Amino acid sequence: MSFKTDMFIMTGRGTPEDSVDKYKRDNRGKDLDKEWTYQEVWDELFNSGNVLPQPLTEAHRVVIVDADMVVYRVSAACESRSVKAVVDGVEVEFPTRTLLKEYCIDVDAEYEDLEVEDKYVSEPVSHCLATLKKTIRNIYKELNATHVVFFLGGSGNFRLDLPLPTQYKAARKNLHRPLYLKACREFLNKHYDTFIITGLEADDLTQSSAEFIINNTRAWCCGYNVDKDYRTALNKNRYYNPISGEMVELSGGVGKLELKNNKVIGEGLHFLLYQCFSGDPSDNFSPKQFFNKRFGDKSYYNFFKDYSDEKELLEAWIGKWKELLPESIEYIDWRGEKQIHTWLTLADLYMKCPMMIMSPDDTTTFSDILERYGVEYE
């Protein structure tokens, strides 16, 4: 069975192989409540020799895992969901809201008038943890890894404090949290090379650690991630997407854009600028509310796709950004405070959402990127 399948299917009681986990670490003495700063993680990974060998050589294959994605998908796969409602005095239950809506049509009832209740039923927690162990085992086996490092998000994500019109990732607050999500996080932290991160996101450490190993050591390395922000890498990088089963090689630099199903995808500087310009609904940010006219994905792709030089791309991007914005941008942020921006400070703000922090002392802004490529601006 492939990993792609294992991620979403329960393993039941498991097999005799599940009873012995050679990939577990002896973490006795580990402070399980500790949240690690960027610098502490960097020192532990690349200076201490406690987690990764020093030096890393051709004999080593390292996988850096965005574990937030792993524990969420595993715990969600271990519970079933249905919806309940009382229709014309009769309690009914359906696997999805779509089927409930179809039932309402059949019995001539108004779906909008119903009080719909989400119902979740979980498998035993032992089944969930067995699935998690099997998932980890498959990461090692399918990627032929000698070392796997897991990052979990903790408290203090700086992006949550950005003075945006709506709070970063606020739309996720009301999402259902699987019952065994906490148990999966605790199990992973207790038994494997896991770091709970403070101050930023697991994405940041996943991308930056992989990039450092790929560009500064002789070891093979990949990130393990499904987030499209990974494709904004400005230097050589690679990641494995467990949903598609694809190993994605990223060359960095100016990158490229593609248009698939009327949606822009890409990599490198091209894709970073696109993410800043167009926003990301899943992360709850978009500067388009300030634009004076519509400029959608097709328009963006057709306007920028042929640029192959970083400086020329940035100059064209600035020109379009300024064209679509008023001279002064004013709004009330999600905390109720008034914000006033120029085109440049607004770009600096929105660039902080998709741009990964690539080292403990990385303070790169959009203005820094312009200066790096010799772009003159007011």
The reply to whether 55 and 186 lie within a common domain is yes
Contact 276, 354 (CB under 8 A): yes
Tell me, yes or no, whether 214 and 136 share the same domain.
yes
| Percentage above 70 pLDDT, the chain | 94
Report the pLDDT value the prediction gives residue 17, as an integer from 0 to 100.
42
What residues make up the domain containing 116?
Answer: 79-122
Nearest partner of 266 among 281, 250, 282, judged by Cα: 250
Cβ atoms < 10 Å from Cβ of 53: 14
Residues 258 and 310 reside in one and the same domain: yes
357 and 297 belong to one structural domain: yes
Please state the pTM of the whole predicted model. 0.88
Average pLDDT over residues 279-300: 96
The predicted pLDDT at position 11 comes to 35
Dihedral of CA 99/105/108/109: which sign? positive
Return all residues near 193 (Cβ < 8 A) that are at least 6 apart.
Answer: 25, 51, 147, 148, 149, 150
Mean pLDDT of the region 313-325: 98
What tokens appear for 17 in the block? 């192989």
Tokens 């494995």 sit at which residue? 240
**For the chain, how far is it from start to end, CA to CA, in angstroms?**
57
Judge if 248 and 294 occupy the same domain.
Answer: no
The predicted-structure confidence for 138-152, as pLDDT tens digits, reads as follows: 999 999 999 999 999
Start-end of H helices in the chain? 3-6, 38-46, 67-77, 97-106, 125-142, 181-191, 202-216, 268-278, 297-304, 310-324, 343-351, 366-372
Asked whether residue 10 falls in the same domain as residue 29, the answer is: yes
Number of domains in the chain: 3
Query: How far is it, in rounded angstroms, from Cα 300 to Cα 13?
Result: 51
The reply to whether 303 and 359 lie within a common domain is yes
Boundary (domain end) residue, out of 227, 252, 277: 252
Instruction: Decide: 35 and 196 in contact? Cβ < 8 Å.
Output: yes
Q: Say whether the peptide bond before residue 16 is cis (omega within 30 degrees of 0).
A: no
For 216-265, how does the pLDDT look when each residue is reduced to its tens digit (9 = 90+)?
Answer: 999 999 999 998 999 999 999 999 999 999 999 999 999 999 999 999 99
d(CA 25, CA 48): 16
Predicted confidence (pLDDT) at residue 9 exceeds the cutoff of 50: no
State whether residue 146 is helix, strand or coil: coil
Ordered alpha helix ranges (H), 78-124: 97-106
Residue 373, SS3 per DSSP: coil
Same domain, 46 and 185: yes
On the CB side of 318, CA atoms within 13 Å amount to: 18
The C-alpha atoms of residue 77 and residue 184 are separated, in whole angstroms, by: 12
DSSP, collapsed to helix, strand or coil, labels residue 267 as strand
Half-sphere exposure of 62 (CA within 13 A, CB side): 29
User: DSSP secondary structure string, 196-249?
Assistant: EESSS-HHHHHHHHHHHHHHHSSSEEEEE---GGGGG-SSSEEEEETTTTEEEE
pLDDT digits (tens, 9 = 90+) for 191-225: 999 999 999 999 999 999 999 999 999 999 999 99
pLDDT score at 21: 64
Shared-domain flag, residues 248 and 258: no
pLDDT score at 159: 98
How high is the pLDDT of residue 176?
A: 87
State residue 361 phi and psi, 5-degree precision: -110, 20
- Plot region of 88 (φ>0 → left; ψ -120 to 50 → alpha; else → beta): left
158 and 293 in a single domain? The answer is no
CATH of the domain at 155: 3.40.50.1010
Residues 129 and 198 in one domain: yes
Which of 122, 148, 174 finishes a domain? 122
Are 94 and 132 in a shared domain?
Answer: no
Name the 3-class secondary structure at 112: helix
Q: Which of 252, 283, 307 is the last residue of a domain?
A: 252
Is the four-CA dihedral 297, 173, 272, 363 of positive or negative sign? positive
